[in-house]
Amino acid sequence: MTATTHPLITMLRDPAQREQGFSTLLRQHGHALYWHIRRVVVGHDDAEDAFQETCIKLWGGIDKFQGTDEAQLIAWTYTIATREALQLLRRQVHWFQSIDDLSDTLTERMMAETPLDSQAAEVLFQQALLQLPTQQRIAFNLRYYDNLSFAQIAQITGKREGTVKVNYHYAEEKVKHFITQHAQ
């Protein structure tokens, strides 16, 4: 390890401290990862399943993680969480169907799980997000909710930074348009 390796990464790489490091990782970032997954898959039960799979993949992949700083660690955890969430959605579509075709199903799921006393504006905002193509929705969520940089989002999604910026911009415009069209 170099002197610049983040202490949590050092813990994760040390077999004697790995469990404590993993516990710290989940304590610090687990809530945000769960909510990232939840915004992709929408339902609580699906989010819990994908989060559990994410934790298994994180634990199993610690030895393969090559980063040295916290930003790289966060990007790595979000990459795995995003993949697991998308994998769960892929299992819910038919052979020749895209996960983008799930927007109506996800909207129905969101409405079923939304408390009756929810703010109408928040529900409308969530409906707008669920109308976005999956890659735009992920880029938007990671930037808007998780405040990640475009470079981090590019690393997480495996897309070029310019593509991520375009996806975010289109998502932002579509959300504004949807809200304008559906606001009462």
pLDDT above 70: residue 160: yes
Q: Which 8-state DSSP code applies to residue 4?
A: T
Say yes or no: 55 and 104 in one domain: no
The single-letter DSSP state of residue 160 is -
pLDDT at 144: 95
> What distance in Å separates the CA atoms of residue 117 and residue 119, rounded to the nearest whole number?
7
The pLDDT confidence band at residue 115, using thresholds 50, 70 and 90, is low
Q: Domain check: are 63 and 139 in the same one?
A: no
Residue 89: HSE in the Cβ half-sphere, 13 Å Cα cutoff? 27
Instruction: Give per-residue pLDDT as tens, 96-113.
Output: 777 777 777 777 777 777
147-163 average pLDDT score: 96
Question: Residues 139, 168: contact at Cβ < 8 Å?
Answer: yes
Q: How confident is the model at residue 1 (pLDDT cuts 50, 70, 90)?
A: very low
* Pair (6, 78) in one structural domain: yes
Question: For residue 104, what are its two tokens?
Answer: 């109506």
What percentage of the chain exceeds 90 in pLDDT? 72
Instruction: Say whether both 69 and 117 belong to one domain.
Output: no
**Do 8 and 84 belong together in one domain?**
yes
Residue range of the domain that includes 19: 1-92
Q: Give the helix ranges, DSSP H, for 91-133.
A: 103-113, 120-130
Question: Can you tell me the mean pLDDT for 103-126?
Answer: 75
Q: What is the pLDDT of residue 116?
A: 56
Q: Find tokens 């202490």 and name the residue.
A: 7
Q: Given 92, 122, 140, which residue is the final one in a domain?
A: 92
**What pLDDT does residue 93 have?**
78
Buried/exposed 90-109: b ≥16 CB within 10 Å, e otherwise: eeeeeeeeebeebbeebbeb
| Sign (positive or negative) of CA dihedral 44, 24, 81, 64 | negative
Indicate the pTM of the whole model: 0.86
CATH code (residue 44)? 1.10.1740.10
pLDDT reported for residue 2: 45
pLDDT of residue 72: 93
